[in-house]
Structures are given as structure tokens and as C-alpha cells.
Structure 1
Amino acid sequence: MRDKIQNFLRGRYGTDSLSKFLLILALAGMFLPIFIKKAFVFYYAGLLLLIYSYFRIFSRNIAKRSAENAAFLRKTSKITGFFRKKKLHFEQRKTHKFFRCPGCGQDIRVPKGKGNIVITCPKCRKEFQARS
């Protein structure tokens, strides 16, 4: 039985970021009518997303599915990058302070507790004073 499943899945595209996102949206849409009355439209939309997600997972057209995933990642990169940066700042909040260069907008990380310091931007070489 296991060999049959492996043979079936051989040459298939599999899961990627877009298919995982579609699966989460599908499940959310399908469970939403449990909490909200008259939201059956979300159930059917979730069902369609689930079908499309499985179509992508079992597809043999790997080049097209890869292109779709790359387009999805390009469109969501600004959002994920923003949250990744916020997470990094939060993790380092006790040891470092972050400043934005007034000249070019570059984020600059400075150790905390050094008092008033002159910060030189590594990108544009503009100097500004700040308290760490």
C-alpha cells in the first residue's frame, strides 16, 4: 500500500508556501459558518480553495506551479519582511537599540547603554547624535 502511494506521488509538485496558505484559508472559510450564521458562502469558497490547493499539490506541471509560488512569494515578501524585521527588533530589544538614518532611512543597530553617541550611517556616511 505504501508503495502505491509513493508511486502515485512520484513526479507530483507537492506542498509549497502558496498551497499551505490556500489550505489555511480554506479551513478558515469552512469553519467560519460554525461561528457565524448565514455565512455559508464562506464554506463554499473554502471548499473551492481546498480543491484548488489539492489540485496544485497533485499537479504534474511543476514549472507552472513553481512560477505561481514564486509570484505569491514576490507579492507577500514585503509583508513577511516587515514582520520578520519587527520580530528581530523585538528579540534584540534588551541588548540593542534601533535608529533610522535621517539621510537615507537605513535601520541602524546600536548597543544599548552607551549614553549619547554619534552614529555614522554605514550606507550614506551621515552622522547624527542619539542616546542609546
Structure 2
Amino acid sequence: MFRNFMAGRYGGDHFGMFLVILSIILCVVFLFVPVPFISWVSWIPLVFSIYRMFSRQIEKRQAENYAFLRKWGAVRTWWWNLKNRVKDGRTHRYYKCPECGKKLRVPKGKGKISITCPQCGNKFIKKT
């Protein structure tokens, strides 16, 4: 019966899961913030997620999920790069190739060195 009910509907995806997790986080935060009626804000992402799940406009929901995944991928990449820079901060320096913009990692404390970009082959000199 449930399978027949869900036929032609969008169902769950990454954006819907993100909205559910966001709703749970907001519920927990609003447990500790005693502001009247503000806890209803935590229900908005959950209701929107359920609406998306039962929607019959599959193309629109796929476009929303695609846009979310593009933005989420950029956030994940930024976070990963930040984590690596902090981890390697004492031993390496990061430079950007002036030609193609690729980020390059070189060892610290070597003085002036010639850096060759592996992507475009451009050579430039930097002080480490």
C-alpha cells in the first residue's frame, strides 16, 4: 500500500536529509534557549522536507537537490582545505599558480625556490 502511495512521488534525497538534521539541531538548540514561540522555527525545515518527499514535481525537487549538492560540495571542499592547511601549517606553505590558479604545497624553510606547477608547467620563484 505504501509503495502504491509513493508511486510518482519524489521521495528522500540528500537535501531532505540535511533539512531533517538541521531541524533536529535547531530543536536541541531551542531546548536551551528559553524564548517563547521561537522553537516553532525548528519545525520549518522538517515540514519542508516532508513536503519535498511527497511532492509529485520530480524535476523541481531534483533541481533543488542538485543546487544543494553543488553548494554543499563547495563547503566540504573549503572545510577540507582549511583542515589540511591547519594540519600542515608548520611544515608546508601553500601557493597559488599565477597562470592556472592551482594550489600548490611546498615545504617550509627552504629559502627561495623555483616552483613548477604540475598542471600547466609554469615556473615561478617564491620564498618559503
After TM superposition, is the score higher than 0.5?
Answer: yes
Percent pairwise identity: 32
SS at match of 1:38: coil
Which contiguous aligned blocks of 4+ residues in structure 1 show a shift greater than 4 angstroms?
A: 87-91
Distance in 2 (CA, whole Å) between partners of 1:13 and 1:119 is 50
SS at match of 2:25: helix
1:106 aligned partner, one-letter code: K
Aligned match for 1:51, one of 47, 51, 65: 47
The answer to whether 1:103 aligns with 2:98 is: yes
Between 62-71 and 9-18, the greater mean CA deviation after superposition: 9-18
CA RMSD of aligned residues (A): 3.1
Q: Pick from 29, 32, 35: which aligns with 1:35?
A: 32
8 Å contact from structure 2 (residues 10, 55) kept in 1: yes
Partner of 1:67: 63
SS of 1:118 mapped into structure 2:
strand
For residues 75 and 123 of structure 1, the distance between their equivalents in structure 2, rounded to whole angstroms, comes to 27
Q: Structure 1 pair 99/38, CA: closer, same or farther in 2 (3 Å)? A: closer
- Please list, as runs of the form range in 1=range in 2, the aligned pairs for 1:1-132 lying within 5 A after superposition: 4-41=1-38, 43-87=39-83, 93=88, 97=92, 99-101=94-96, 103-104=98-99, 105-110=101-106, 117-121=113-117, 122-123=119-120, 125-129=122-126
Compute the TM-score of the two structures, normalised by the length of structure 1: 0.69
Please state how far the C-alpha of 1:51 moved relative to its aligned partner: 1.1
Query: TM-score normalised to the size of structure 2?
Result: 0.70
Structure 2 alignment gaps of length 5 or more: none
Give the paired residue count: 124
Q: What is the CA deviation profile of residues 75-116 of structure 1, one whole-angstrom value per residue up to 9, with x for unaligned ones?
A: 44432221133356678x4xx945213624421145x69x56
